[in-house]
């Protein structure tokens, strides 16, 4: 097909088709070119998807800090100050990766930060399900392995440092 015929058939200006033929690697979207490759961004997406079900969902600052560290270790020209992207980059990143969502954490009051026994049992069941699905249940069934967890290991609100179990008080 001739350029004129393609332009007419698909209702695309001939100048646009000529430009695309001369510049096949030109960017076709709006905004600046992302400073990370698609492969690098997909790696970040995979990491976020993998750590969330293990009980380690990442906050937006964790993602931005991770990108900053990566860009510092792998120098390239970026529009970021000190290689650290801002919330606008994260917003665009989330648009480019619709499988991810950003959840805003609600302010936790002191009373709501305490966790009931059923919450703890539910968490242990989630861990058991994960280990079963990953064929790793033998890790916790091996009597040679000892796991220690105290009140500092069950944080429900890491930003406030409130733990789900409270230290026992001595009775007088």
CA pair distance 16, 88, nearest whole angstrom: 30
- Is the pLDDT reported for residue 12 higher than 80? yes
CA pair distance 36, 149, nearest whole angstrom: 39
Query: What percent of the chain has a predicted confidence (pLDDT) above 90?
Result: 28
User: DSSP string spanning 68-112?
Assistant: HHHHHHS----SSBTTB--HHHHHHHHHH-TT---PPPPPPPTGG
pLDDT greater at residue 33 or residue 109: 33
User: 95-143 pLDDT, tens per residue?
Assistant: 888 888 876 555 444 444 566 788 788 888 888 888 899 898 888 888 8
Q: What is the pLDDT of residue 170?
A: 39
Long-range contacts of 124-132 (CB under 8 A, 24+ apart): 126/55, 127/55, 130/53, 130/54
Q: Whats the size of the chain, residue-wise?
A: 172
Report domain extents, the chain.
38-96, 115-147+156-161
Asked whether the whole model's pTM tops 0.85, one would answer no
Q: Which residues contact 103 (CB under 8 A, 6 or more apart)?
A: 57
pLDDT greater at residue 34 or residue 86: 86
Q: What is the DSSP letter of 12?
A: -
User: 62-100 pLDDT, tens per residue?
Assistant: 899 999 999 999 999 898 999 999 999 999 898 888 888
Residue 157 binned pLDDT confidence (cut-offs 50, 70, 90): very low
């Amino acid at each position: 097909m001739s350029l004129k015929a393609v332009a007419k058939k698909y209702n695309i200006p001939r100048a646009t088709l000529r430009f695309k033929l001369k510049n096949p690697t030109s960017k076709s979207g709006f905004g600046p070119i992302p400073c990370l490759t698609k492969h690098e961004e997909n790696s970040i997406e995979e990491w976020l998807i993998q750590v969330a079900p293990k009980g380690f969902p990442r906050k937006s600052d964790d993602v931005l800090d991770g990108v900053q560290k990566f860009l510092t270790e792998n120098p390239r020209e970026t529009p970021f100050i000190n290689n650290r992207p801002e919330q606008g980059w994260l917003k665009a990143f989330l648009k480019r990766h619709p499988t991810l969502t950003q959840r805003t954490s609600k302010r936790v009051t002191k009373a709501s930060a305490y966790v009931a026994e059923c919450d703890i049992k539910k968490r242990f069941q989630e861990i058991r399900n994960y280990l079963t699905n990953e064929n790793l249940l033998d890790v916790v069934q091996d009597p040679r392995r000892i796991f220690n967890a105290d009140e500092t290991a069950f944080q429900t609100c890491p930003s406030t440092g409130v733990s789900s179990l409270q230290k026992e008080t001595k009775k007088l």
